Amino acid sequence: QQQVKQSPQSLIVQKGGISIINCAYENTAFDYFPWYQQFPGKGPALLIAIRPDVSEKKEGRFTISFNKSAKQFSLHIMDSQPGDSATYFCAASLTGNTPLVFGKGTRLSVIA
Amino acid sequence: DAGITQSPRHKVTETGTPVTLRCHQTENHRYMYWYRQDPGHGLRLIHYSYGVKDTDKGEVSDGYSVSRSKTEDFLLTLESATSSQTSVYFCAIRPGQGASGANVLTFGAGSRLTVL
């Protein structure tokens, strides 16, 4: 049972464009939703995270939009740059000690 | 990756042989995790530890065992490696509840295992 469904699997965006990656979750008890960024040959690293008490969180060019009623959240990368080319993972967890559940990842390529 | 090292970084072995991957942290974090990453499957949790000698299974634990005899070390063992265990293995650490950044996972650089 896949608890976090991520789409698309891969994405190609022109430099300067907006990259959008979507995730849907099933467990309504989830209350922490992070995004991780992974460059080739490296481990994933936390990019940005949100809790369900807010509908949007922005950090620089990266924004998480959260829709609690639809059980969906998305990552928007504004003014996408070639340096943003990486694999992005959404995840979800319960407060406390439960492990993160990850989506299957999206490989983003930003082309000039 | 500061504070967390995995060894070996690359290993090629044959089917049926035992393999142990080591994760070492210098952050004194309570939680440690082993994930495997495969194309089309993303990151899947194998086992995790919430303290010395305290471990639990993840979603893909069959064929794997773990041990944590010290806070800083978390070992992943494949008792008899199979080709389906060819993967990139990531260790991750996390502080305990109440600590700053309690929900943030810090990943190691990964261990690429090939089982022939």
Q: How far apart are CA A100 and CA A96, in angstroms?
A: 11
Q: Do A102 and B31 touch (CB under 8 A)?
A: no
Mutate to test the interface with B, among A6, A9, A101, A107 (most CBs of B within 10 A): A101
pLDDT digits (tens, 9 = 90+) for B2-41: 699 999 999 999 999 999 999 999 999 999 999 999 998 9
Q: Is A110 exposed, middle or buried (0-12, 13-18, 19+ CB in 10 A)?
A: buried
Q: How far apart are CA A47 and CA A64, in angstroms?
A: 10
Among A45, A101, A103, the residue with its CB nearest the CB of B107 is A45
C-beta atoms surrounding A60 within 10 Å? 9
pLDDT digits (tens, 9 = 90+) for B58-71: 999 999 999 999 99
Tokens 């035992």: give the residue.
B18
Residue B101 pLDDT greater than 70, yes or no? no
The residue among B24, B109, B10, B43 whose CA lies nearest residue A43 is B109
